[in-house]
Amino acid sequence: MPDSRSDPLLQIADDLYALPLADFTPSRDALVKEHKADKALAAGIKGLRKASAAAWVVNLLVRRDPDQVDQVLAVGAALRDAQENLDAAQLREFTKQRRQLTASVTTAARRMAREEGVRTTESVADQVEATLTAAMLEPDAARAVRSGLLVTAIEATGLGDLDLSGAVALPEALGFSATARPAPGPDPTTRPQLHVVPDPDADAKARAAADERLSDARSALSEAEKEHRAARRTVEKLQARTLQVQSEIDELRSRIAELEGALEEVDDELGDAEAVQAETEEAVDEAREEAETARAARDKLRGG
């Protein structure tokens, strides 16, 4: 298994991908110059690509909290076993755990990034969660995540043909485990130490790094503005729907008031009608009684 203690390029990569995102390019270029005597190593360093925002967040998580990442990967392995054994009960349980874990760990990773001064957009968070999900579903993706050398986010296809050739900094990354690096305290020695020689092109590279940082900031701003516009459209749509529903409620209330008024009128008319009915029933009873009396009188006369 590749080991940072035996592979200088892996050791350098492990240190480089632990740096803040904005520091990666100038530090890499300085290291190329430092190791120019070893052309193969210098070329290897020069070929290390800067990680995407989502990949950097996952790499940060792997170094800040490897135990939590190992828990994610363990649940993923158990999920794969449950799928292979067709154990429906375990499959449901582990699937539930997978969703809960990926959401929870993504939130933790975003918090770690924020502590490093990096704000992650919803789009980046979705890529982080997709990468963690891929690591739970695919063994190779799990090894790629654990390496801490991701350069792009990963998304599982579910077909078992995941191509990770462009997802990690080096082919040797699969099987390599990133060095745990707790959050740095006031002591600067806790940060990754990259011993670089003075660079005569430092000013130019600093300007290039500043340009790159500005470009990243503009991209983040564009993404944030896009999300803000979408949120604003949603709010406006819901506000319009609220007004529509309120208008319908007002119409229904007005109609209810009309019907209640009509009900009172009908109740009054019903009371009058019932009084008339009672009077007519009395008249009918009196007339029936009078008819019976008259019939009895007639029958008596005929009999006499």
Instruction: State residue 282's pLDDT score.
Output: 85
Of 7-16, 93-102, 229-238, where does mean pLDDT reach its minimum? Answer: 229-238
Q: How far apart are CA 70 and CA 97, in angstroms?
A: 14
- 76-103 pLDDT per residue, tens: 888 777 777 766 777 777 777 778 889 9
Q: Is a pLDDT exceeding 80 seen at residue 224?
A: no
* 108 neighbors 61 (Cβ within 8 angstroms): yes
Percent of the chain scored above 70 by pLDDT? 80
pTM for this model (two decimals)? 0.59
Q: How far apart are CA 21 and CA 220, in angstroms?
A: 13
Q: Is pLDDT larger for residue 102 or for residue 187?
A: 102
Most confident of 3-12, 34-43, 159-168: 34-43
Instruction: State residue 186's pLDDT score.
Output: 52
- Angle formed at CA 176 by CA 192 and CA 13, multiple of 5 degrees: 40
Closest CA to 3 of 261, 260, 225, 177: 177
Instruction: State residue 67's pLDDT score.
Output: 93
Most confident of 105-114, 156-165, 226-235, 286-295: 105-114
**Sorting pLDDT into bands at 50, 70 and 90, what band is 49?**
very high
Instruction: State residue 127's pLDDT score.
Output: 96
Instruction: State residue 191's pLDDT score.
Output: 53
Q: Is a pLDDT exceeding 90 seen at residue 9?
A: yes
Q: Is a pLDDT exceeding 50 seen at residue 262?
A: yes
* 168 neighbors 144 (Cβ within 8 angstroms): yes
Amino acid 67 reads D
* 114 neighbors 120 (Cβ within 8 angstroms): yes
Q: Is a pLDDT exceeding 90 seen at residue 12?
A: yes
**Sorting pLDDT into bands at 50, 70 and 90, what band is 60?**
very high
Structure tokens at 3: 């080991």
Q: How far apart are CA 114 and CA 150, in angstroms?
A: 19
Q: Is a pLDDT exceeding 50 seen at residue 203?
A: yes
Instruction: State residue 161's pLDDT score.
Output: 67
At 150 the three-state DSSP class reads strand
Calculate the average pLDDT of the chain.
83
Instruction: State residue 273's pLDDT score.
Output: 86
The secondary element (H helix, E strand) that includes residue 11 is helix 8-16
Q: Is a pLDDT exceeding 90 seen at residue 46?
A: yes
Average pLDDT score over residue span 169-195: 73
Q: Is a pLDDT exceeding 80 seen at residue 207?
A: no
Q: Is a pLDDT exceeding 50 seen at residue 2?
A: no
Count other Cβ atoms within 10 Å, centred on residue 143.
18
Average pLDDT score over residue span 159-188: 80
**Sorting pLDDT into bands at 50, 70 and 90, what band is 4?**
very low
C-alpha distances (whole Å) from 89 to each of 32, 102, 266 are 53, 20, 63
